[in-house]
Structure 1
Amino acid sequence: MTDTSGDGRELGRRPTLVIVDDSDEVRSIVRAVLESSGLFEVVGEGADGAEAIAHAYRLQPDLLLLDTSMPTMDGLEALPAILTLSPQTRVVIYTGFEERGLADRAREYGAADFIEKSIPIRDLPDRLWRVVGGTEPAPSSPPSRSALRVVGDADQHAPHVAAEQQVLDEHLERFREVFEQAAIGMATLTLNGSVVRANNALAAMMDCDAVELVGVDYGVLMRGHGDLLDDGLASVVELGRDLVSFEHPLPVGSDPGTVRVTLAPVRDSKAQPLYVFAQVEDISAQRRAEDELRRSEERFRLLVTAVRDYAIFMLDPSGHVMSWNAGARRIKQYTARDIIGQHFRVFYPPEDQAALHPEHNLEVALREGSYAEEGWRVRRDGTRFWASVVITAVHDATGRHIGFTKVTRDQTEQQQATEQRAHLLAVTAHELRSPAAAIDGAASLLAEGWDRLDDARRTRLLGAISASAHRLHRLATDLSTAARLQSDTLALEREDVSLARLLSSAVERAQAADPSVDVDVAADDVTFSGDPARLGQAIDNLLDNAVRHGRTPVAVSGTATDGRVRISVHDAGGGVTDELARRLFERFAAGSDGGTGLGLYLVREIARRHGGEASYEDPATFVIDLPS
């Protein structure tokens, strides 16, 4: 038949289609569903943008289903070349990113449609048919039994699916809140560095709207330092590193600032990177302060005796201390009488002294004019602190070398904050991976073998999905609350709270997540003023801590006496060491053996926002004390 339809496709011929996605599993499932529908002829597959271009040129397909985040070349990069080499091909972006800006950018580049991978897979053939067939309904061609095993007989189990989807949707919404409200810049990048999502803090640094960053290669924002991004992505994608950091100047302003970028991959259940999360922190103030100190010897002379935030002093050409300021005394704990005349190597740890690191620093400063580094230094009492150090060679008017100026700043808190952020990124990625893998595995077993599973096995698998989704929901809640505490935007919504109902609800949630949990609950029948959602979150964290790190049975009690409400959670375990007990409620203190280290910190902060306090009592008892 030679007649053609309105879109140029020959009548009686199935549209040809190419699938491009870096996931073998995704390509296999999509191909099975599309071929089983009887609507399309799949003529090729590819794993990245370069293969998509080659297939478009060689096969000239009617449709090309194109992923966004892929190695070598991502989908948005390849899209213009595909349409140039095969103008009649209709390209449909098929992506896991749900971002309005990304969809708009894809259509600007010529995409015929933008489909999110979150849609039911069985709806995909009809959605693609509308792309090539206009508004005509798809011919009736039900999927084969093998395809049904892929998409699942989900209708009869819709209540379970809907409930789990609601939990996952809430988790996604809370993650978006954390992302958008963060005070530092954040972006999600494809494996090749294209921005698919950016928050307002990053847009403010770049002097634009967040939507304008979508689809932009982050490397073009780095003012000629794009090779740093390429090296960082290669370390993450090819070498498997979990964290990579680098710095670059901002692309705006005649005197641009500097930002530090930290890259962390988000991986699938097989540890393969899906995309890259970027944290962008403006460090301009720190860099400009150090540059100003190096530039201005006169300002140094004026401030040297009064400045308390910096240790500023002079060394003779061989490294002996010649002068001492108030900041040096505060930071290093030596008086001028104690230290003047001693060699400055006493400020370095023994291992650095043995390696002649102090002498090396002076050699470099003399040769290069100055030397800067960050590292551990030692106070007079033997304690260590993280120092930012600048050593500058000083010459007189004739050019004769007369000594060195040394500027030291205590950066311990900043270093700890950086380590905590890196720790949170790494631990959160780990905490997300386990429940995500559990959901993926259980869902696959249900989808592929529902008819072969007995009711008990199905119930266990659905329970595993529910428990993992509950864990994701709690993680997102804790991250959102921590972000609000950090930005001081956490507000309480007070109302009358039934103590008995508050505790029984928390126990019900714990047992819904894990029916095997053995919890006894006893509470006085009293009512007090508080935020039930935040208090419930605190009790959930204490129960989770008892189940994960203690031993059952767990007992929860609530009593009211003398105008106070006391809530305690006790487990049968041996408790914690005295050293850990002193810092249990500090942020990240309890995260070394699993978890983010935020749970107990949030318990304490929620209690304090209510005018109360959280504490630990030996053995293995956590207490929240509140005013009633």
Structure 2
Amino acid sequence: MSADVPTVVIVDDAAEVRLLMKTRLRVSGLFDVVGEGADGEQAVELAREHAPALMLLDVSMPGVDGLEALPGVLEASPGTKVVLFSGFEEQGLAEKATQLGAAAFIEKSVPVDTLVDRLLALVDRPVTDDWGAAQRPEVEIDQRVLDEHLERFREVFEEAAIGMATMTLTGRLVRANRALAALVQQSAPDLVGRFYGDLTDGRGDLVTGLLEDIRQQPLDVVRLEHALAGEGPERWVRATLAPVRDSGGRALYLFVQVEDTTAQRAAVEALRRSEERFRLLVEAVEDYAIFMLDPTGIIVSWNAGAQRSKLYTADEIIGQHFRVFYPPEVQARRHPEHELEIALREGHYEEEGWRVRKDGSRFWANVLITAVLNDDGEHVGFAKVTRDNSERRRLEQEREQAVAALGAANDELESLNRRLEKAAEEQSQFLAVTAHELRTPIGVLGGSAETLSRHWQQLTDEERDDLLGAMNSSTARLRRLLADLLTASRLQASALEMQSGPVLVGDVVADAMGGVQSTHPEARIHVEVPPDLAVSGDRDRIAQALDNLVANALRHGTAPVTIEARAEADRVEIRVSDEGAGVDPAMRGRLFERFATGRSRGGTGLGLFIVRELARAQGGDAVYEPGSPDLPSGTFVITLPRARADASSPGRP
């Protein structure tokens, strides 16, 4: 290539993106790609080694992201013009990139013509007729459709009532919606490039640790509750961080939801204080009747409190036995006299029970009887203190009922909150995973098709084959994603139609093999199925479930894959295994749940959920059997009803 052609270094953690960009720039004949890297540290080393004229630098990468690496690149090669090249939208990020010294910010979704033209402009090179020509009308239409879809996503993001943001793997915000900006009392552009830990009240180290956990462990969701930094009244939020991963399970960037919990915490504290005040109020209520008895129980003194609670005047009651205050059935047991015996023996007696007023009404009383001795130790009588606890007892009963009702309401509220949080998490994860699963194949399809169409003659055979292979792989990936989404939606809505009948297992295996071999033509698959073994079910749905299991084994396991079928009484087991290490024990408990993804190679997390629900819809089930010394990888088993021996000829009508 000519010596005066600008040199370029491409740094992106996605190998397929580097391949596409390298091929595009090479076939243009206007640039010389002299190096490529996968993270910020490699970017600095490549800048020092090659001192390129241009560097395409991704924003979100593991370890050191593009925003952190940018100053180091410019220090290593001051003459290099760095272009931040990112899948994130420009809002606020371009300004931040310029502040850090970037020459330009370009979104990955721009057409190749625009990309090349902008790179040429940065190195003061004229635009050629080929690359500067207007795009074809159909390309413009495609771009408008893509822009419309992107705009709809941005509207949902911006109009959300809850705070949302995307940020790099090192915790730098690259986009924030209006709700988050209002919550932290800053503008959305000012948040771009900020480390999330700086928004917390001294929790930066904890945020750094959580980000490291996300990068190193297969965590789907991480939550953090913290106070917001800043002056004024204290505000608390709950942050939910969900990593968006590629098909290989590698975290690309983070989706963040931030919910204001200040009012919730204040309500909990107010409830606690209210209960404390109520307790003090109940304990402070006092209504005592205090009077003296002689050694036999005759009333010899009376106070105003006794008159208020028992309604007797002193003249009416003095001289009577104190048993008059007890219900007749209690008097009959001689319980009053028994109280005096205990008080004399032990020094005092205390109980709670029903007592009777002058008008015959009853009240609940706390009674304390104390033996009174003179200075010589002689017994001279008893001091009796009676407290009317009717109101306290009523209040306590009402409080117990209220606490029970409040506890039930709180339990229901917590249950509802958990369901809402789970639904929000699933929706957030679903949107993040689906968006990511769509972005890469669509980008590769569009970029590869355009490159092949415009530069077929300039490409080598190997480059054509690579690009066509990438298109086939992306198409298959989109078809599988669409099928999984439609099936999962119909299963959840109980709207999936089934046509049950006798089906030969061998035919189902053949159907599934056809789908798998179209996307994995070199896959090694062993089949051991009796020729006459039949099940009762829907042939297409059974094949779909088996196709998901085999594809799952090829993606997450190690070839060869073995498919076996055998009859067990009135059931048939279809068993799929491979030579891999098996499912992580930590993953097994939620293996068949929606959106459950392992650490190895990503995916939507719908495949095994669909397998189990399709099997159950046909009277069967799907399980995972852990490995053994003979078969360490474990086995996925679909169980279906066995077709009756007298059933009509199995297969598709």
- Relative to the length of structure 1, the TM-score reads 0.52
- Relative to the length of structure 2, the TM-score reads 0.50
Structure 1 distance, partners of 2:410, 2:218, is: 29
Alignment-mate amino acid for residue 227 of structure 1? D
Alignment-mate amino acid for residue 426 of structure 1? Q
Alignment map for 1:136-535 (pairs within 5 Å): 136-138=125-127, 159=138, 164-292=142-270, 299-301=277-279, 324=396, 326=398, 328-330=400-402, 332=404, 387=411, 410-432=413-435, 435=438, 439=442
Alignment-mate amino acid for residue 76 of structure 2? L
Q: Return closer, same or farther for 1:226/1:325 CA change in 2, 3 Å cut-off.
A: farther
Unaligned stretches of 5+ in structure 1?
1-10, 144-153, 306-321, 335-376, 380-384, 388-408, 476-512, 515-540, 553-572, 575-587, 595-628
Structure 1 distance, partners of 2:479, 2:54, is: 40
1:549 maps to which of 496, 503, 520: 496
C-alpha RMSD of the superposition: 4.8
Alignment-mate amino acid for residue 419 of structure 2? Q
Structure 1 distance, partners of 2:131, 2:41, is: 34
Q: Return closer, same or farther for 1:249/1:23 CA change in 2, 3 Å cut-off.
A: same
Contact kept? 2:8, 2:55, Cα under 8 Å: yes
Contact kept? 2:166, 2:256, Cα under 8 Å: yes
Alignment map for 1:596-607 (pairs within 5 Å): none
Residue 98 (1) aligns with residue 56 (2): no
How many residues matched?
A: 385
Q: Return closer, same or farther for 1:140/1:444 CA change in 2, 3 Å cut-off.
A: closer
Contact kept? 1:185, 1:280, Cα under 8 Å: yes
Structure 2 distance, partners of 1:410, 1:51, is: 51
Alignment map for 1:71-150 (pairs within 5 Å): 71-133=62-124, 136-138=125-127
Specify the structure having the higher radius of gyration (Cα).
2
Structure 2 distance, partners of 1:120, 1:462, is: 19
Structure 2 distance, partners of 1:210, 1:125, is: 30
Q: Return closer, same or farther for 1:424/1:327 CA change in 2, 3 Å cut-off.
A: farther
Alignment-mate amino acid for residue 496 of structure 2? H
SS at match of 2:237: strand
Residue 54 (1) aligns with residue 32 (2): no
Residue matched to 1:610: none
Contact kept? 1:269, 1:437, Cα under 8 Å: no
Unaligned stretches of 5+ in structure 2?
284-392, 457-463, 500-539, 542-594, 596-605, 611-653
Deviation of 1:196 after TM superposition, in Å, equals: 0.9
Residue matched to 2:509: none
Structure 1 distance, partners of 2:126, 2:150, is: 33
Structure 1 distance, partners of 2:26, 2:400, is: 74
Q: Return closer, same or farther for 1:446/1:184 CA change in 2, 3 Å cut-off.
A: same
Residue 34 (1) aligns with residue 25 (2): yes
Deviation of 1:331 after TM superposition, in Å, equals: 5.8
Q: Return closer, same or farther for 1:437/1:325 CA change in 2, 3 Å cut-off.
A: farther
> Which digits, 9 at most, give the CA deviation of each residue in 1:411-435, with x for residues without a partner?
2322222222112223334544665
Structure 1 distance, partners of 2:448, 2:127, is: 30
Deviation of 1:142 after TM superposition, in Å, equals: 8.5
SS at match of 2:169: coil
Deviation of 1:18 after TM superposition, in Å, equals: 1.8
SS at match of 1:91: strand
> Which digits, 9 at most, give the CA deviation of each residue in 1:492-547, with x for residues without a partner?
xxxxxxxxxxxxxxxxxxxxx99xxxxxxxxxxxxxxxxxxxxxxxxxx999968x
SS at match of 1:549: coil
SS at match of 1:56: helix
Contact kept? 1:269, 1:436, Cα under 8 Å: no
Residue matched to 1:522: none
Structure 2 distance, partners of 1:303, 1:276, is: 51
Residue matched to 1:505: none
Deviation of 1:186 after TM superposition, in Å, equals: 0.4
Structure 1 distance, partners of 2:109, 2:61, is: 18
SS at match of 2:92: helix
Identity %: 42
Structure 2 distance, partners of 1:325, 1:593, is: 49
Structure 2 distance, partners of 1:413, 1:91, is: 50
